């Protein structure tokens, strides 16, 4: 698991942008999950499996809105309710 964003325990500000690690792109983002930890230490695992092949994809999860842009490999926080840490980890996938 790799940390992408951390704001010292305080919520990550709206509009913040973070570059994802090398090797993650529009084709491979579906094999990862985002780990969203809020200030109360509650963790949500969020998959971007539904991402389309469009360059920019916006995802909404329980009041949190994230935007992923494949050409720049940037994850942007559009709206944040209480998330203090964003990490990414590889999700085990098997061919169907």
Give the tens place of pLDDT for each residue, 35-86. Answer: 999 888 899 998 876 555 667 888 888 889 999 888 888 999 999 989 999 9
* Residues sharing a CB contact under 8 Å with residue 91, sequence separation 6 or more, in sequence order: 31, 32, 33, 47
How far apart CA 33 and CA 27 sit, in angstroms, is 14
Q: What is the pTM of this model?
A: 0.83
Q: Taking residues 8-31, what's their average pLDDT? A: 88
What was the pLDDT predicted at 54? Answer: 65
Phi, psi of 37 (to 5 degrees): -110, 125
What was the pLDDT predicted at 92? Answer: 66
Which DSSP letter does residue 75 get?
E
């Amino acid at each position: 698991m790799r940390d992408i964003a951390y704001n010292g325990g305080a919520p990550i500000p709206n509009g913040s942008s973070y570059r994802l690690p090398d090797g993650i792109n529009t084709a491979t983002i579906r094999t990862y999950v985002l780990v969203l930890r809020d200030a109360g230490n509650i963790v949500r695992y969020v998959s971007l499996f539904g991402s389309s092949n469009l360059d920019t994809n916006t995802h909404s999860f329980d009041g949190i809105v994230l935007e992923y842009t494949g050409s720049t490999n940037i994850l942007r926080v559009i709206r944040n309710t209480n998330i203090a840490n964003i990490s990414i980890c590889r999700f085990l996938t098997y061919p169907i």
